[in-house]
A and B are shown apart, each in its own frame.
Chain A
Amino acid sequence: GDSVTQMEGPVTLSEEAFLTINCTYTATGYPSLFWYVQYPGEGLQLLLKATKADDKGSNKGFEATYRKETTSFHLEKGSVQVSDSAVYFCALNRGFGNEKLTFGTGTRLTIIP
């Protein structure tokens, strides 16, 4: 079945550091890929998405590129802020809006001033 493998956490960085959180996936066909973020005490919010190969999703300074050849969707940000501290989840679905999401285990990110 479909699966998502995420970089193990937790990750601790200093403010303004460069962030990469790795995500690889296994799925048949042409899945859509997502990054969700969960701030402390809150639900999941969609951070960015990509629906086909070579698409780049971006939002709030975060970016991720859908790489079909490496089955990856790594999350990057050039300069992190304390407010980026959260848990980040990589997810996929089978490419239609009504399909269930399959999540990775989540990566807890802490940014220190």
Chain B
Amino acid sequence: EPEVTQTPSHQVTQMGQEVILRCVPISNHLYFYWYRQILGQKVEFLVSFYNNEISEKSEIFDDQFSVERPDGSNFTLKIRSTKLEDSAMYFCATSLGVTTYEQYFGPGTRLTVT
């Protein structure tokens, strides 16, 4: 069964550093999302992406965050200057399209900012 993959599984970085989290969506999916889950808290929406542009973003997704599909397959989330409060599990999700309702989630990348 096709699945969403994410790399790395765990990233440790120092405050102020840039990080790039990578996701490989299911091949025929058209909609892409990033969510995050701070330890012990709810899963929060960050951004959705379709047709090479952002469809919607939350207030969490400020100028420090960006997303892109650099090569038409990978879907990346960049945090330009990490803060301690960015420490969380980041999940990529993908969806086939408007007529199907299921978002398929990757296993997540645990980001630890020290």
Binding site for B on A (CB under 8 A): 32, 34, 36, 42-46, 49, 51, 89, 91, 93, 96-98, 100-106
Binding site for A on B (CB under 8 A): 4, 30-31, 33, 35, 41-45, 48, 50, 55-56, 58, 91, 93, 95-108
Of the candidates B45, B50, B58, B105, the one whose C-beta lies within 8 Å of that of A98 is B50
State whether A101 and B50 are in contact (beta carbons under 8 Å apart), knowing that A49-B102, A89-B43, A96-B98 are contacts in the complex: no
What is the CA–CA distance of A105 and B101 in the complex, to the nearest angstrom? 21
B42 lies within 8 A of A105 (CB): yes
The list of the 3 closest CB pairs from A to B, nearest first, reads: A43-B107, A44-B105, A103-B43
Query: Min CB distance, A70 to chain B, in Å?
Result: 22
Chain B residue contacts of A43, Cβ below 8 A: 4, 91, 105-108
A101 lies within 8 A of B103 (CB): yes
Given contacts A89-B42, A97-B99, 13 further A-B pairs with CB under 8 A are A34-B101, A36-B105, A43-B107, A44-B91, A49-B102, A89-B43, A97-B31, A97-B95, A98-B48, A98-B55, A100-B58, A101-B45, A103-B43
State whether A49 and B101 are in contact (beta carbons under 8 Å apart), knowing that A43-B91, A98-B95 are contacts in the complex: yes
What is the CA–CA distance of A91 and B103 in the complex, to the nearest angstrom? 11
A97 lies within 8 A of B108 (CB): no
Chain A residue contacts of B96, Cβ below 8 A: 97
Query: Min CB distance, B2 to chain A, in Å?
Result: 14
Query: Min CB distance, B24 to chain A, in Å?
Result: 13
A104 lies within 8 A of B42 (CB): yes
State whether A100 and B33 are in contact (beta carbons under 8 Å apart), knowing that A32-B101, A44-B91, A46-B102 are contacts in the complex: yes
B105 lies within 8 A of A100 (CB): no
Name the residue of chain B whose CB is nearest to the CB of A103: B43
Query: Min CB distance, A88 to chain B, in Å?
Result: 12
Query: Min CB distance, B30 to chain A, in Å?
Result: 8
